[in-house]
Amino acid sequence: MKRSLATVLALGAASALVLSGCSAGDSGGDSNTIKVAYQKFGTFTQLDAHMKEVKAAFEAENEGMTVELVPIEAQQNDYFTKLALMNKSAATAPDVMYEDTFMVESDADAGYLAPLDEYTAEWTDWDAFYDNAKGAGLGGDGKTYGIPMGTDTRALWYNKDLFGQAGLPVPWEPKTWEDVLDAAATVKAKLPDVIPLNVYSGKAQGEAAAMQGFEMLLYGTGDTLYDTEDKKWVTGSQGFEDSLTFIKDLYQGELGPTPEQALDKNVGTLVAAEWLPQATLAIDLDGSWLSGTWLETGTAPWPEWNDVMGQAPMPTQDGDEPGATSMSGGWTLAMGAKSKNKDAAWDFIALALDKDNSQAYDIAASQIAVRSDVSEDPDYQAANPSFGFFSEIVEVTNFRPATSDYGQISSEITVAMEAVMTGQQSPTDAAKAYDEALVRIVGEENTMGAK
């Protein structure tokens, strides 16, 4: 059943205010400078441009106030580490921070984030955000700690020109994992100088490997990491082992990048800025935001990208219902618990994520909008020809477990992936090692066997 863009976004997003003068929380009121920390890495510079624009607008509206931007140039896991170190001390803690939705609960538990409910209660724009998008910013106590900037989905990007040269069909509509690997094998045989398939894997890629690689596979098996009904982590999952077998077949079968290439922290930048535009990679399991790099405003403009690149949903393992799968996440802007001027920090967040600024950012960064007034805006809908495809697959998407221990468990997933991709362990042994690590992290009483 087809759903409207607004309905799809509302179902899947569980990933403007001038100075309000509200007085929620401990504002302090003695600081005329607010510090804004965010990630700036590789080809992803749209956020940096957005923050600079909001800084200029905020300072123009608020005489005497200064916004100190702190771009953290680090890959995702390193960004989380550096942000946590900043939050340890009131002297370095940011007033506003760019916060991954899967880190909200753990960072709130750690005391790094301030609740925003008293602010959102007075913010008329809050009604424009989809309810499930609001849920992505909730802590374990049910309070709001992050305001969503946008969400995303993931699918297979493929080079139509290379497919034509290899004799593969366009449009490509793989129905099973075997179809995906068979297409990669055909590329290898017909175009030996081309990397057939990229799936992010290994410890260096952090959450890009765990979520964007492994969980895109796992949730296509019908298994799950975490049973939300019993609130327990799953061990002994055949789907977990099968997902590792896919990684083994890809990397040990020489259908992907070399392990050395795959374990390079900069591989995401290489994929977006070089391998795909230069036609040295045929298939890439990647995110909806990828084309933002290739827009005229991106870091690696590629005017022909929409003619060259096709998209296909990632199929389930054996074609079982719903036939395809995806993962969704997203990022928020959050307020630091140690902020000396929480009112000003909130006003920066509200300005950065008002309708006009949200729309400008979502278009520049190729984000799926989480505000109804943005997703329904004709300018947003016309801005990127891939928005329609990636919005539609939200209805088959999955989300990471919203628990404070997920970060540790995600790290263990990447350990298992790396052991298999480099041939150090078999999928069976790596899955067993993961189960043992899982029990150490959460306790045996918080685990259960796969159903």
Element (H, E) at 250: helix 238-252
- DSSP 8-class letter at 429: H
CB 313 within 8 A of CB 154: no
Q: Which of 87, 61, 39, 13 is nearest to 350 (CA)?
A: 61
Which phi and psi (to 5°) does residue 224 adopt?
Answer: -145, 160
pTM, 2 dp: 0.82
- The predicted pLDDT at position 67 comes to 97
Which phi and psi (to 5°) does residue 74 adopt?
Answer: -155, 150
CB 198 within 8 A of CB 159: no
pLDDT in tens, the chain (451 residues): 333 334 444 434 433 333 333 333 343 344 799 999 999 987 678 899 999 999 999 999 999 999 999 999 987 778 999 999 999 999 999 999 999 998 999 999 999 999 999 999 999 999 999 988 898 899 989 999 999 999 999 999 999 999 999 999 999 999 999 999 999 999 999 999 999 999 999 999 999 999 999 999 999 999 999 998 899 999 999 999 999 999 999 999 999 999 999 999 899 999 999 999 999 999 999 999 999 899 888 889 999 999 999 999 999 999 999 999 999 988 999 999 999 999 999 999 999 999 999 999 999 888 999 999 999 999 999 999 999 999 989 889 998 887 888 989 999 999 999 999 999 999 999 999 999 999 999 999 999 999 8
Residue type, 285: L
C-alpha angle with apex 401: 395 to 404, nearest 5 degrees?
150
Is 264 buried (19+), middle (13-18) or exposed (0-12) by CB count in 10 A? middle
Going along the chain from its start, the domains and CATH numbers come out as 5-152+330-399 (3.40.190.10), 154-327 (3.40.190.10)
Neighbours of 315 (CB within 10 A): 21
Question: Rounded mean pLDDT of the chain?
Answer: 91
Q: Rounded CA gap, 5 and 378, in Å? A: 12
CB 154 within 8 A of CB 212: yes
Q: Which of 404, 81, 395 is nearest to 226 (CA)?
A: 404
